[in-house]
Structure 1
Amino acid sequence: MTRALRRLTLPALLTTVLAGCGAPGSDTYEPGGNRIQVDAGEEFTLSVPVDTAMGEWWYLTSPDPAPDVVRGLGEREQIEADEVVVGSGGGTDLFDFEAVGPGTTEIRLIRCPVGACAGGGSRGGPVAPSPVPSGSPAPDEKYRATVHPYTVTVRKP
């Protein structure tokens, strides 16, 4: 009887604990969701996968989103590295925003495999795809910088 009670209690306890994770009212959007609708005052996150073993990173790129519609709250990363194999693993880059006022704007994130982007980054300024010298073959898609736009519509609360 006690063993059966423990089996029922553990899932219920885990469900309660996990339900408390994350900020209330904060939604997370992944690369497939390019159209986002939120109410003014809400916070939301753009979540993109990163392959740290390939030297891949994501950046906010120009043009900046309209500051009267959304405001950037910062960036963070979650790295899931394999402790056995040095340099392996992936993770997630997270970009946090607050919906400031009604309107529509675009947030543009750029995926930058090693050597695929120029400018900006941790030095500031815009990040853009690196130019390919004329006459050179285009790099494979996994080695090319790609821009992922998100159209954000903020509604009145």
Structure 2
Amino acid sequence: MQQLKKTYTLQEAIKKLEHYCAYQERCHKEVRQKLVTMHMIPEAIDTVIVHLLQHNFLNEERFAKTFVRGKFRIKKWGRRRLTLELKKKDISKANINEAFREINDAEYIEVFNDLAEKKANSMTEPNKLKKKKKLVDFLLYRGWESHLVYDKANELFK
């Protein structure tokens, strides 16, 4: 038995994608992937994306700013991880730099220090060197700059 693929008219696809973008900020890559999974032809994909851009449903700069704010405040990611994740989503260097203006340096350092101290205090590892390595790995994975990470680890485990 053949599985029938649901097909969409251009208007249906536009409505569906307007809702998709209104629900949560999206980047061009996510929208394009969504349209491909809907089995839209390349010309239709371009038409829908142009429509979304013209009607401000899709805005890469706004997406980058929202992404950076959210991941920094909620997941406590550092600049390196944020840059990497945005590059995976094909966000331009200019938009990435613009998005980083959302985080002021004082807040950045404060969040980093809180995160490092909280993690260091919660670790039960008795060996000081292993504890230090675990803290360093934890912070580097979250994308904090290595100079910050090593300075903090040395400060906390003298």
TM-score band by shorter chain is: under 0.3
Q: TM-score, normalised by structure 2?
A: 0.25
Looking at secondary structure, tell me which structure has more helix per residue.
2
Looking at secondary structure, tell me which structure has more strand per residue.
1
Greater relative contact order (Cα < 8 A, sep 6+): 1
Q: TM-score, normalised by structure 1?
A: 0.25
Larger Rg: 2
